[in-house]
Amino acid sequence: MKADKPVLAGLPCDELTQALAPLPRYRSIQILKWIARGTQTFDEMSNLPLTVRAELNERFRVRSCAPGTSVTGPDGTVKLRISLEDGVTVEAVLLSDDKNRKTACLSTQAGCPAGCVFCKTGAMGFLRNLSSAEIVEQFLLLRETGGEISNIVIMGMGEPLLNLDELRRALSVIRDPGGLGLSKRRITVSTCGISEGIIDLADKGPDVRLAVSLTTADEGLRERLMPISRGQKLGAIKDALAYFQKSGGGRVTLEAVLLGGINTRQRDAQALADFSRGLDVVVNLIPWNSFENPPAFTPALREPERGETADFKNRLESLGMKVTCRLRRGSGISGACGQLGGTEH
């Protein structure tokens, strides 16, 4: 298999039709369906003539990624290490809830440029953006590993809105009724607050659920915890979210990674409430998932005590906020929020 052959797995139907020319459009529709089913070779596409299969083998590849090791945690979480063609490795996660519904957590970058001190991926630094095929193939490989998937969260390695063009192409494949066919209600994109990307998402789509990893609405503290926020001020983020909602976007989830004794004070709750005023939001509290050798920070990072999380939730609710707490899944295999990146590359 030659690496210089184009890969079809990440091409939306219109691009697939262009790539396959002079084959007619109905062939691209057939091939998109085969890719969505998980077919890995053209020879398996039984409704294509043998001559067409031979031509496709000469010109293209179906996929580019190779599955590496997978590990399953006691709560059913699966973490899959995926090898890319250039030797870089990324991780994707399959989460199961109490009703055995499965959610794929996909990565959009190898490493991450955001540099959040509470995130293992941020400590890796940034390697490169992933292609649309590399994003779609994570979903396909997770499904082959763990079974049917009902939801997708773009919350893995990387900042999605800094790779929005490739993410947009991948989600076009994922949402296509002739492809994977997931509805907008089942797809959530999480950003650390790239205001230009939020506006771009509002203007050009795709129409998906949006989550913002805010963590704190204290500007100075946020800049220390999330270095990328030095160029993404809270006022600009709030304006972008207001624009997103005025443009037809629905309720936004504000994610707050709780760090014991750092962002769990009354004034932190008040700052979140002040930031949220005028927006349709729900706050999702995420107790920090620790990892080995986190970056130096004063005071030292620590997981919040259970009482701290409950108290902070009560403080927010007393200020009129809608609040949820994320169940801690995957931490036993370093597959929880903020723990991805224990890879060699």
Helix residue ranges, H only, the chain: 13-20, 25-37, 50-59, 120-124, 132-146, 164-175, 195-204, 219-225, 234-246, 266-276, 306-318
**Distance between CA atoms of 10 and 51, rounded to whole angstroms?**
24
> Which of 162, 84, 163, 154 is closest to 343 using CA atoms?
84
**Distance between CA atoms of 90 and 108, rounded to whole angstroms?**
9
Residue pair 311/134 in contact (Cβ under 8 Å)? The answer is no
- Catalytic one of 105, 112, 119, 337: 337
- Catalytic one of 65, 91, 116, 255: 91
Q: Check if 65 is active-site.
A: no
Residue pair 272/254 in contact (Cβ under 8 Å)? The answer is yes
Phi (first) and psi of residue 240, to 5 degrees: -65, -40
SS3 311: helix
Residue pair 280/104 in contact (Cβ under 8 Å)? The answer is no
C-alpha distance from residue 152 to each of 102, 155, 209, 210, 290 (Å) = 9, 9, 10, 12, 24
**Distance between CA atoms of 85 and 77, rounded to whole angstroms?**
26
Q: Check if 317 is active-site.
A: no
User: Which residues are catalytic, by number?
Assistant: 91, 337
